[in-house]
Chain A
Amino acid sequence: MKLKHPSNLETPLSGWGRYPVVKSYLQRPEKVSSFRKILEECGKSPVIARGLGRSLGDAALNAKGYTVLTQRLNRILAFDKKTGILRCEAGVTMKEILATFVPRGWFPAVTPGTKFVTVGGAVAFDVHGKNHHRDGSFSHHLRSLELILASGETVQCSRQENEDIFWATVGGMGLTGIITEAEFALHSIQTAYIKSHHIKAKNLDEAFALFDEYEPQYQYSVAWIDCLASGKSLGRSILMFGNHAAREDIPLQQQPEPLHLKPKPNLKVPFDLPAGLLNRYTMSIFNTLYYGKMRSKEVKSVIDYDSFFYPLDFIQNWNRLYGKQGFVQYQWVLPTEVSREALYRMLQLCSQTGWGSFLAVLKRLGSQEGWLSFPMAGYTLALDMPIRKGLWEFLRKLDKLVIEYGGRVYLAKDARLSAEAFRSMYPNFPQWLSVKERVDPHNRFSSALSQRLGVER
């Protein structure tokens, strides 16, 4: 039996990237109706909600006051079998939604690359999946929210009701209030499997061409890029496309129970790896092997949804691979017109300076409505970067390029962007701020991230 010691005494906390580590007082309501009492107990100190802490940096941390854990607020409140509309508390996890509804033929309309996120976290960063260019982000399928404001008042909001609070809360990083309930749509599936299609691209040009060619046929698409390849191979990658499989697509022995998967073993990283282990040489060996492992140009296969959407979830706490110092993920998006040129420059910079990454993920995004939502029509690339000397200087160079090309950095992955750079990247910030100042004039809701970005003046 694994045992933990909980404590609302001052507790060190971090995001998934394990940087920064910040001490905070913890609260953990067991039911939504105790929120009011808890907010009273917090007095005047600032408060921030925390789901599963899968944001990489400092979004769910609060050095100046309380962090409120939502993990026990996970009741599913209503499900409509005809429309797939689900209403639940904000602490329900993607994992629970999958376990409950996949066997009944329903799948989240949008899911990030890990199932260890809460609904609250998915709303607060308006997360996107491999289908964003087609299906939009989480908010696109969101019908309504229930929120506790700084005044202690509970409000409902949607596109029709309190719509400014709705648009400020999706992508609002927990800063407008505490989300208690959300109502959103699932979409129907016939099987728990994905018909996947992997294609190798020699370089960035070919990758872009393949995206254009295949995207119309597939609901999901993503590419893994080898950031350390240079010269003619710059941007060599493996593109992965997929569609939900129909019953007749899957192997015969699975067909009687097409919606059920056998449980798989989990792996664990038992200790922190030495920080220097993931250096440019080991990573480039990894990337060469990964790329070389796929022998033919294309592979088509039928795989279960876990392997397609959540390959990293098989290894618990894989964040320990980056050592004690932790890591950040640098994820940015660039408008379509400039994506190719800008990506060339940025990847060149990476391969010249050796600031590579194990996982470099390239995705196409569509446009987005939420005021602080990350997506915009264009391409997004995400690089994992272990924290080492010189990283901040290097990322500031990338920031400059991102701003120059009219793109932005994803705050769910960030731990270091400056307040000025943030303002240049998020042009709707003033609009968002006007709602924040109205519903939370004294900055009751505040995180290490909002403090860093100078949201409170």
Chain B
Amino acid sequence: MKGKAVLLIGATSSIGRALAHEMAQQGAALHLGARDGFEVERVAQDIGIRYQVPISWSTFEALDYETHPELLQKAVDNLGTLDGIVVSLGELGYQKTAQMDFNHAQRIIHSNYTGVLSILTHTANYLEQQGHGFIVGISSVAGDRGRQSNYTYGSAKGALSLFLQGLRNRLFKSGVHVMTVKPGFVDTKMTFGKPGMFLVASPKQVAAAIMKAMHSKKDIVYIPWFWFWIMLIIRIVPEWLFKRLKL
């Protein structure tokens, strides 16, 4: 990571912030993007002081698609170059509300998928032309199989996983590495205090695991690792049985 220039989108999310710390500690220069301008400035100050690396920030609203090329340009200008992008944002939303209110469902889809697709499309073209770089997208285990408790969010994450997979296939020949991250339960505001949580990992643990996976150029990584096995089991349950389960 030393000397690498990274655009990190969703820097005010718990996982995004932990990742930014981890990368800066390893010597990366960062440009942070997040919609909360007040907060992202504080996150940037914090990291700049702690790790003494070059750091800048801009506001980023996933749903304002037309602003995305500008953001990418600003990152490149500030960093002087661009080695990679990490996207860590999303909205879990409320499944029950999404069932009754299409606007809510739409928000979930656009924040988790369309918005990410937009910024990644611009960045992928940039990196492809450059001929090297990396793309890390934070998806979720929720995208591996539709479940009644969160399938709107899950469908957006599932779409994101497929998009990243296609991108990986396309960019392989140009030397751009694309990694899909599928975290299990992480101790953030998405999960804090929610019933039914188990094996909850801290954002710091997740960030460290993502860094390790980046170094070894993993394609798809479950974090913590045991979620690979949990999801394997969940995926192989036959549909006639799965549809009867309360998940």
Contacts and interface: CB of A to CB of B under 8 A. Distances in A.
Interface of A: 1, 3-9, 26, 28, 30-33, 72, 74-79, 89, 100
B149 to A, nearest CB: 18
Dominant secondary structure at the A interface: loop
A28 B39 CA distance: 16
B200 A5 contact: yes
Dominant secondary structure at the B interface: loop
A76 B202 contact: no
Contacts of A79: 49
B42 A77 contact: yes
Contact of B200 (A6, A31, A77, A89): A6
A32 B36 CA distance: 12
Contacts of B36: 31, 33
A72 B204 CA distance: 12
Given A1-B224, A30-B14, A76 B197 contact: no
A76 B45 contact: yes
Interface string B19-56: 00000000000000000101100110110011000000
Contacts of B205: 1
Interface of B: 12, 14, 36, 38-39, 42-43, 45-46, 49-50, 187-189, 191-193, 195, 197-202, 205, 224
List of 3 A-B pairs having minimum Cβ-Cβ separation, nearest first: A8-B193, A75-B46, A75-B42
Contacts, number: 61
B204 to A, nearest CB: 11
16 contacts: A1-B205, A3-B199, A3-B224, A6-B187, A6-B193, A7-B193, A7-B195, A7-B197, A8-B192, A26-B193, A28-B189, A31-B42, A33-B39, A74-B46, A76-B45, A76-B49
A382 B14 CA distance: 39
A100 B201 contact: no
B245 to A, nearest CB: 23
A430 B50 CA distance: 42
Contacts of A7: 192-193, 195, 197
Contact of A75 (B43, B188, B195, B200): B43
B188 A78 contact: no
Contacts of B45: 75-78
Nearest to A30: B189
B46 A6 contact: no
A3 B193 CA distance: 15
